[in-house]
A and B are shown apart, each in its own frame.
Chain A
């Protein structure tokens, strides 16, 4: 049984007299222990989707099952009970501004009916887990973004959830803080066995910690599966764009000085572990006696596995190009053509 199962979910908003389809026929399964990424450009509907997982938004159509129990069949009371087991963190942290760290972490436990003493004891433990013991009496306004998110994570863990939903949880943070928050999430996933769902628009976040990913575009699920598979051969246009956007960001600054060769087809190659022993590109050039232009190369950590990635510009000659592509494929490389 999947931890979370979404079946044919659709969500329509009414804006004035206009019907807006935020989500259309989404189906996906999230297994226990997954760190599941949901990625899309802004406005793709991913925030709505994650809110359908705890019914903060009620789907117009379709079903959501949490550990086999369907949410729409629940009474309001049961739903509130269920939500205590589905924690959530947010882009803007959403801490109570008039309460200090400890009181913020106590809040969900007080809602759950725990005594104040019990709640405070657990809150102190949790502050230790997120590494903020010395900030127990600080108010959110006295904390940095990363620290606020740590308090929010501690608050989310307070009621021992089975699932943690992260709505753009690192989007307001700088790269270093993002890294440390992602590490913390990974640790939580591994040590406590909490299933994590991450909503983001950054491929780097997905690569860093997710094992599975769903790509949402204009309210449709266009592709989903293992992160390593999708990174190696993205099938949908949206996936390719999201992967390349990261790479392109880095190219454009490097390419600024070099006059770009305006010829030839660009291809993207992905090296897996076993293909990196042979000096493939060097051999390719020697074999054909014609240079290729390396536009970009990078190694990325995808779910703990190092993957090489390279953008090549092949010669304009069609025949030569096809032969080069075949040569690369024969050596077990995955490649795809790229049009800017």
Chain B
């Protein structure tokens, strides 16, 4: 198997093995980061939407605080955030390099991005439908879970797909300064050793990964869309 791939790609067998192993690692990092990103970003996005002045429970103070924090976090370039976070990461998981350390940085970087995505997805929900729910005696929790999230389902899934794509790019970046995965390989075995063939193949793998995530996400989004 490895030998066949080695013949096809023109790479040494141990590099093929490395590529395979780190593809799996990259997928792991991307999925875990996005998942945990949503654990933080989804509630944050909901609160942003709900407390906005046109939201169902406007609260200027809460909105402004979260708005400012989100903006600050989003304006720090990822590569810098990664370095700044190193002490925190070390404290949290015991080391500041490797795949798990990268996940910590990715989550913190993706969460505010996700919260904005969620906020704007929920914004698209027809205000009339929210009013109808209120006229039926729905409370805010019911409106959030049964109207906002349910009506925005398709848009949220599209948002998650875009996020996955972005996070793939970020893992590669993290790889370059001590994270694991394809980014680290590309730097160490491709760029530093001048192995252009290997560098090329990491790109191919990343592109394929991106396409697969994109395709699956869009398919699911289409399946859940009953608006048209």
Give residues in A with beta carbon < 8 Å to B: 54, 56, 80-84, 86-88, 90, 92, 94-100, 107-108, 110-112, 139-141, 159, 165
> In the complex, what distance in Å separates the CA atom of A317 from the CA atom of B118?
75
* B146 close to A107 (CB less than 8 A): yes
Cβ-neighbour of A98 out of B138, B139, B142, B226 (below 8 A): B226
Binds A, one of B48-56, B82-90, B128-136: B128-136
Interface centre among A82, A83, A98, A110 (most CB of B within 10 A): A98
Q: Are A96 and B128 in contact (CB under 8 A)?
A: no
A81 nearest CB neighbor, chain B only = B137
Min CB gap A179→B, angstroms: 24
Asked if B12 CB lies within 8 Å of chain A CBs, one says no
17 A-B contact pairs sorted by A residue (CB < 8 Å): A54-B135, A56-B135, A83-B134, A86-B135, A90-B131, A94-B128, A96-B147, A96-B151, A97-B151, A97-B227, A98-B150, A108-B137, A111-B133, A111-B142, A139-B226, A141-B226, A141-B227
How many angstroms from the CA of A46 to the CA of B147 in the assembled complex?
Answer: 27
What is the CB-to-nearest-CB distance from B39 to chain A, in angstroms, rounded to a whole number? 24
Asked whether B129 lies within 8 Å of A94 as measured between CB atoms, the reply is yes
Residues of A within 8 A of B129 (CB): 94-97
Tell me which residues from 182 to 228 in chain B have a Cβ below 8 Å from any Cβ of chain A: 224-228
Query: Interface readout for B146-160 with A: 1 if CB under 8 Å, 0 if not?
Result: 110011011000000
Separation of A140 and B132 alpha carbons in the complex (Å): 15
Chain B residues contacting A100 (CB-CB under 8 Å) are 226
Can you list the 4 inter-chain pairs with the closest CB atoms, starting with the nearest?
A94-B132, A83-B137, A80-B137, A88-B135
Distance in angstroms between the alpha carbons of A94 and B151 in the assembled complex: 12
The answer for the CA separation of A165 and B128 in the assembled complex, in Å, is 15
Contacts of A96 in B (CB 8 A): 129, 147, 150-151
A92 and B128 alpha carbons, distance in the complex (Å): 8
Q: Which chain A residue shows the least CB distance to B151?
A: A98
Contacting pair B135 A98 (CB below 8 A) = no
Q: Which chain A positions have C-beta within 8 A of B132?
A: 88, 90, 94-95
Closest residue of chain B to A111 (Cβ to Cβ) is B138
Nearest-neighbour CB distance to chain B for A166, whole angstroms, equals 12
Hey, which chain B residues are within 8 Å of A97, CB to CB?
A: 126, 129, 151, 226-227
The distance in angstroms between the C-alpha atoms of A95 and B136, with both chains bound, is 12
Q: For A140, what are the chain B residues with a Cβ–Cβ distance below 8 Å?
A: 226
Query: Out of B128, B139, B146, which one reaches A110, CB within 8 Å?
Result: B146
| 8 Å CB interface, B82-115 against A | none
Known contacts A96-B129, A96-B151, A98-B226; is-contact A80 B139 (Cβ 8 Å): yes
The complex places the Cα of A94 from the Cα of B133 at a distance, in Å, of: 9
Complex alpha-carbon distance, A288 and B142, angstroms: 73
**What is the bound-complex CA distance between A87 and B134, given in angstroms?**
10
B198 CB → nearest A CB, Å: 46
Q: How far is the CB of B148 from chain A (nearest CB, A)?
A: 11
For residue B142, which residues in chain A have a CB less than 8 angstroms away from its CB? 111
Chain A residues within an 8 Å CB radius of B133: 107, 111
Instruction: Given A139-B226, A141-B226, A141-B227, answer yes or no on A112-B128 (Cβ-Cβ < 8 Å).
Output: no
- Extra contacts, 20 of them, besides A87-B135, A111-B137 (Cβ < 8 A), are A80-B137, A84-B136, A88-B132, A88-B136, A90-B128, A90-B131, A92-B128, A94-B126, A94-B128, A94-B129, A94-B131, A94-B132, A95-B129, A107-B146, A108-B137, A111-B133, A111-B142, A139-B227, A140-B226, A141-B226
